[in-house]
Amino acid sequence: MEKYMLPCLHKKLFGFDCPGCGGQRALVMLLKGDFTEAFFMYPAIYPLAILAISIGVNLVYPYKLYSKTASTLTIISIITIVISYVFKQFIA
């Protein structure tokens, strides 16, 4: 599966990671069951996965608290992406 991954165009053009770098590899790790490695590769994988599941559930079984749940998970995902990106670029 790894041989079919898309390269990061941002990294090829500018020479440094984008905020989404590591997301594909983390998804593959998550699907393989490597949960800890997936988190360390891309910490936002879990809030994004929960958000995707809630969107899918809402499409099949609409529920009342969907908009609040989706908004909260989106904010958590964005905050996690920004914090991990800043950490990866400037601290680590």
Look-up of token digits 């969107």: 55
Confidence check: pLDDT of 67 > 70: yes
pLDDT score, position 76: 96
pLDDT score, position 11: 80
User: What is the tens place of the pLDDT at every residue in 25-38?
Assistant: 999 999 999 999 99
> Any idea of the CA torsion for 60, 63, 65, 71, to the nearest 10 degrees?
20
For range 34-55, the mean pLDDT: 94
pLDDT score, position 18: 85
pLDDT score, position 3: 72
SS3 of 43, please?
coil
Q: What is the pTM of this model?
A: 0.83
CB under 8 Å to 62, separation ≥6 — which residues? none
